[in-house]
Structure 1
Amino acid sequence: MAARIKKDDVVYIRSGDDKGKTGKVIRVLVDKDQVLVEGINMVWKHMKPTQANPRGARIRKEAPLHLSKVQPVDPKSNKGARVKFVVANGEKRRVAKKSGSDLGLVSKV
């Protein structure tokens, strides 16, 4: 699948408990078609007791979201944008379909 969403992109959440929120992509899990978004889809992680932390702990952590639930944010409209790819001057770039604004470089051809 093409790199429609990359690390450090700001994305819009399309569905789920966090629908309508935006956040920054921390990590893209390419094999599973999932992303980790900062502050979105938070779950409790239970940690076992260790020598360093004898009582154990409960920590809040981001859980992965499927790529179909997120869209890159269009810098012009600050809304979710569909993405198309444009090849020009030996570079493959991501472009928002409606506004035509540039969303970043994918690769050099």
Structure 2
Amino acid sequence: MNKLKTGDQVIVLTGRDKGKRGTVSARIDVDHLLVDGVNVSKKHVKPNPLKGTTGGIVDKTMPIHQSNVAIFNPASGKADRVGIKLLADGKKVRVFKSSGEEIKA
């Protein structure tokens, strides 16, 4: 079970975007995430008349390693760790480590 999923609010712990918050928009692979508004770089693109795209400089969101982000706990207003709890009916749910409350996603 992945501790960070698409749609989670995360906060950046290290790097040039330290302290920024964003939403996980996609998982690239096991270790990397795309977070909206975080790790944005400029990319020079060529025009392609066959596809109808214009050239220029565009902002592109680059992947960030999941160890550099932590889930945002709205109750405390800070970053938190994620734990996995087994319910009585056998289901696994994600919980905040600090409070033990379930993460609603």
TM-score normalised by the chain length of structure 1: 0.85
Q: List gaps (5 residues or longer) in structure 1.
A: none
Report the counterpart of residue 82 of structure 1 in structure 2. Answer: 81
- Decide whether the 8 Å contact of 1:74 with 1:101 is kept in 2: no
Structure 1 counterpart of 2:23: 24
Q: CA separation in 2, counterparts of 1:93 and 1:53?
A: 44
Please, what is the CA RMSD of the aligned residues?
1.5
Q: Deviations over 1:28-86 (max 9, x none)?
A: 1224x1000001111011111221245x2110011100010001111311211111100
Uncovered stretches (5+) of structure 2, i.e. residues with no partner: none
Partner of 1:37: 35
Q: Which runs of 4+ in 1 moved over 4 A?
A: none
Aligned pairs, number: 102
What is the alpha-carbon distance in structure 2 between the residues aligned to residue 85 and residue 25 of structure 1?
Answer: 19
Residue 48 of structure 1 corresponds to 46
Provide the C-alpha distance between the structure 2 equivalents of 1:50 and 1:86, rounded to a whole number of angstroms: 50
Q: Which amino acid aligns with 2:96?
A: A
Calculate the TM-score normalised by the size of structure 2. Answer: 0.88
**Aligned-partner Cα distance in 2 for 1:25–1:86:** 22
Q: Secondary structure at the match of 2:93?
A: strand
Question: Equivalents in 2 of 1:8, 1:53: separation in Å?
Answer: 29
